[in-house]
C-alpha cells in the first residue's frame, strides 16, 4: 500500500460482520466510532463511501469469502466512485499486508485489537498513506471507544478476549491473541450504558467467556459468576446470557449461579466438539467425554430445564466410524437442544492441518448430514416439550402479520405472539405449538379473558 491512487475522504460507511458474536460486537463498536467521527451509516454497501468487511478466519470458506466480497464491491461500484474498502477482523489479523497485495482495491487493513484506530486509518488512506494496523497493543482498545449508543432490547458486551487453549484445529489463539479479561469497572459501566440505551438483555461475550477473572471495586477476586451476580442487581436489566464457554473453565461457582441467579437465562453454549476421547485428545481439548458429561450433570442438578447447546466438528483427521458414532452418542446423552456442527477445515499454521489421515470430503458430508439430522430431531423434541408451559417472552421485533410480535423465550427460541406489547417489553405467554425453529405463544391475559 505504498504510493497509490487515494480515494476521497468518506462521508458514509457500511460495516459487514461475519463469524462469531464477538465480531458482531466489534462491528457495532466500529460503527459507533465512525459515527462519532462524523460519518453517517449507509443502509447498504452499495450506498457507502467506506465499506468495512469485518471478517472471520475460522474455516477456509469464511476466509475465502472476503476476496469474493471485495470483487463484488468493486464490480458493483462501476460507474461511480469506488468505495474505500477496509478489511477488519480475524482475516486482517492473520493475513495483514498480504490482503492488499492479493486485492489491490483494499485501502485499509485493521486487526481486532486495533480498530479504535480506524478513523486515523481512514484519514491515512484518504491522504494516500499506508493504512495497516494489526498491532495487539498493551493498552486495550476499549479505553478509547465512544459511549454505547441507543439500541434494541438485546445487547452484546465483550468481557473477555483471546484464547490460550490452542485446540489443534483452531486459528483463534493466533488471530485474537492471548486470553485477556476486561476490568470489572469498565464492564459494569458499559452494562449500565447499554441499559440506559434500551437494553433489557445483555449477553456477555468472550472467545472463552467463562475464563473471565477480575477484581471488584473492593479488590476481591471474582470469576464470571461474580460478575454475573453484580450485573444481576442492575435496575432495568431483565436477562443475562454468556457465550462461548470452554468445559475446563466451568467452575462450581458458575454452575451454582445457574441455580440461583434469576436473571441468568437457562441456556448454556458449551462446545464439546467430539464424543470420542481419542479425537478430543488429538484436538488438545483437555477434557474427556466423561468429564464433559459430569459437568452437564452438575448443571442439570441445579437447573433441570436448561437448554444445552454446543459446537461439533466432524471429520477431524483420523476420525473413524467408531469415533463419529461416539459423537452421535454424546449428542443423545446430553440431549442438546440445539448445536452448530461443521466439517473440519484445515487451517494453515495449525497442528491438525498437517496430521495424517485427513478424512475424505464425501465421508465428512455424510457424517455432517447424520449429525445435523439428529440435532434437528432433538431440537424439535426440546421445543415440543415446552408446549403447555407458561413463560416470559422478551419482545424483540414485529412479526410478519399485523399485531404479531416476535420475542425470545428464556431458552433462546424465537416465539411468535399476538400482542400490542412494545418492543423491549416482557410478556407472559403460554406456548401453544412448536416448530423446529420457532414456537407460538398466546398471552396469559388473553387466555384468562377467553
Ligand atoms: N471458543 C469456542 C469456539 C470458537 S470457534 C470453543 O472453544 O469452543 C467456533 C467453532 O468453530 C468451534 O467451536 C469449532 O466447532 C469450529 N471450528 C473452529 N475451527 C475449525 C476448523 N478448523 N474446522 C471446522 N470447524 C472449526
Ligand atoms: Fe479455538 Fe479451542 Fe480456543 Fe475455542 S478453545 S477458541 S476452539 S482454540
Ligand atoms: Fe471467526 Fe475470529 Fe470469531 S476467526 S469465529 S471472527 S474470533
Point out the domain boundary residue: 84, 112, 133.
133
Q: Which residues line ligand 3 (CB under 6 A)?
A: 19-20, 22-23, 56-58, 89-90, 171-172, 175-176, 207
**Domain match, 196 and 112 both:** no
Q: In a 3-state reduction of DSSP, which class is residue 159?
A: coil
CATH number at residue 165: 3.80.30.20
Instruction: Tell me what pLDDT residue 55 has.
Output: 97
Q: 207 C-alpha to center of ligand 2: Å?
A: 7
Query: What's this model's pTM, rounded to 2 decimal places?
Result: 0.95
Instruction: Tell me what pLDDT residue 243 has.
Output: 97
- Rounded-to-integer distance, Cα 55 and Cα 92, Å: 7
Is 357 within a domain?
Answer: no
- pLDDT mean values, one per 10 residues, the chain (450 residues): 71 97 96 96 95 96 93 91 96 96 96 96 94 89 88 94 97 95 96 96 98 98 98 97 97 98 98 98 98 98 98 98 98 97 96 95 98 97 96 96 95 96 96 92 69
Is there a contact between 415 and 404 (Cβ–Cβ < 8 Å)? no
CATH number at residue 403: 2.40.50.140
Is 206 within a domain?
Answer: yes
Is there a contact between 178 and 50 (Cβ–Cβ < 8 Å)? no
CATH number at residue 120: 3.40.50.12160
Instruction: Tell me what pLDDT residue 78 has.
Output: 87
**Domain match, 17 and 123 both:** yes
CA 246 to chain centre: 14
Of 176, 246, 286, the residue with max ligand 2 atoms within 8 A of its CB, to mutate for a pocket test, comes to: 246
Q: How far does the chain reach from its first CA to its final CA, in angstroms? A: 69
**Domain match, 120 and 242 both:** no
Instruction: Tell me what pLDDT residue 3 has.
Output: 47
Of 23, 161, 173, the residue with max ligand 2 atoms within 8 A of its CB, to mutate for a pocket test, comes to: 173
Is 380 within a domain?
Answer: no
Point out the domain boundary residue: 78, 109, 133.
133
**Domain match, 180 and 226 both:** yes
Q: In a 3-state reduction of DSSP, which class is residue 443?
A: strand
Of 208, 269, 279, 352, the residue with max ligand 2 atoms within 8 A of its CB, to mutate for a pocket test, comes to: 208
Is 292 within a domain?
Answer: yes
**Domain range spanning residue 190?**
140-308+320-331
Is 348 within a domain?
Answer: no
**Domain match, 192 and 84 both:** no
Point out the domain boundary residue: 133, 150, 184.
133
Is 349 within a domain?
Answer: no
Instruction: Find, among 27, 7, 204, 208, the residue nearest to 110 by Cα.
Output: 27
**Domain match, 181 and 114 both:** no
**Domain match, 122 and 172 both:** no
**Domain match, 155 and 295 both:** yes
**Domain match, 396 and 433 both:** yes
- Rounded-to-integer distance, Cα 268 and Cα 323, Å: 25
In total, how many domains does the chain have? 3
Is 356 within a domain?
Answer: no
Instruction: Tell me what pLDDT residue 444 has.
Output: 79
Angle (deg, nearest 10), helices 252-260 and 289-302: 30
- Rounded-to-integer distance, Cα 408 and Cα 12, Å: 33
**Domain match, 79 and 156 both:** no
**Domain match, 124 and 144 both:** no
Is 171 within a domain?
Answer: yes
**Domain match, 195 and 216 both:** yes
Amino acid at each position: 500500500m505504498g504510493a497509490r491512487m487515494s480515494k476521497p475522504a468518506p462521508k458514509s460507511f457500511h460495516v459487514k460482520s461475519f463469524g462469531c458474536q464477538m465480531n458482531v460486537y466489534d462491528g457495532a463498536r466500529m460503527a459507533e466510532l465512525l459515527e462519532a467521527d462524523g460519518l453517517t451509516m449507509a443502509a447498504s454497501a452499495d450506498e457507502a463511501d467506506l465499506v468495512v468487511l469485518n471478517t472471520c478466519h475460522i474455516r477456509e470458506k469464511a476466509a475465502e469469502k472476503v476476496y469474493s466480497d471485495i470483487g463484488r464491491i468493486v464490480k458493483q461500484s462501476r460507474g461511480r466512485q469506488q468505495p474505500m474498502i477496509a478489511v477488519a477482523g480475524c482475516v486482517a489479523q492473520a493475513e495483514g499486508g498480504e490482503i492488499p497485495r492479493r486485492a489491490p482495491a483494499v485501502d485499509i487493513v485493521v486487526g481486532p485489537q486495533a480498530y479504535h484506530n480506524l478513523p486515523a486509518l481512514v484519514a491515512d488512506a484518504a491522504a494516500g498513506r499506508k493504512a495497516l494496523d494489526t498491532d495487539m497493543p498493551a493498552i486495550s482498545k476499549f479505553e478509547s471507544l465512544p459511549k454505547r449508543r441507543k439500541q434494541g432490547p438485546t445487547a452484546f458486551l465483550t468481557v473477555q478476549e483471546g484464547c490460550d487453549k490452542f485446540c489443534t484445529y483452531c486459528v483463534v489463539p493466533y488471530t485474537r491473541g492471548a486470553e485477556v479479561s476486561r476490568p470489572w469497572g469498565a464492564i459494569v459501566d458499559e452494562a449500565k450504558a447499554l441499559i440506559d440505551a434500551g437494553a433489557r438483555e445483555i449477553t456477555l461475550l468472550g472467545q472463552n467467556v467463562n475464563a473471565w477473572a477480575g477484581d471488584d471495586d473492593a479488590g476481591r477476586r471474582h470469576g464470571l459468576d461474580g460478575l454475573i451476580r453484580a450485573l444481576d442487581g442492575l435496575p432495568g436489566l431483565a436477562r443475562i446470557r454468556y457465550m462461548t464457554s470452554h468445559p475446563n473453565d466451568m467452575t462450581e461457582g458458575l454452575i451454582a449461579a445457574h441455580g440461583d441467579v434469576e436473571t441468568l437465562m437457562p441456556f448454556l453454549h458449551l462446545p464439546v466438539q467430539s464424543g470420542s476421547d481419542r479425537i478430543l485428545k488429538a484436538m488438545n481439548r483437555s477434557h474427556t467425554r466423561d468429564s464433559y458429561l459430569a459437568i452437564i450433570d452438575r448443571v442439570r442438578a441445579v437447573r433441570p430445564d436448561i437448554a444445552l447447546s454446543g459446537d461439533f466438528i466432524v471429520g477431524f483427521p483420523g476420525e473413524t466410524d467408531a469415533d463419529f458414532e461416539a459423537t452421535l452418542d454424546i449428542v443423545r446423552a446430553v440431549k442438546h437442544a440445539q448445536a452448530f456442527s461443521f466439517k473440519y477445515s484445515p487451517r494453515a499454521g495449525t497442528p491438525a492441518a498437517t496430521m495424517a489421515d485427513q478424512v475424505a470430503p464425501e465421508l465428512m458430508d455424510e457424517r455432517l448430514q447424520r449429525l445435523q439430522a439428529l440435532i434437528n430431531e432433538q431440537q424439535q423434541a426440546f421445543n415440543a416439550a415446552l408446549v403447555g408451559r407458561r413463560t416470559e417472552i422478551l419482545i424483540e421485533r414485529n412479526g410478519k402479520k399485523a399485531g404479531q410480535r416476535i420475542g425470545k423465550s428464556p431458552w433462546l427460541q424465537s416465539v411468535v405472539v399476538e400482542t400490542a406489547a412494545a418492543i423491549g417489553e416482557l410478556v407472559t405467554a403460554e406456548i401453544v405449538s412448536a416448530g423446529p425453529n420457532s414456537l407460538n405463544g398466546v398471552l396469559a391475559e388473553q387466555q384468562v379473558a377467553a
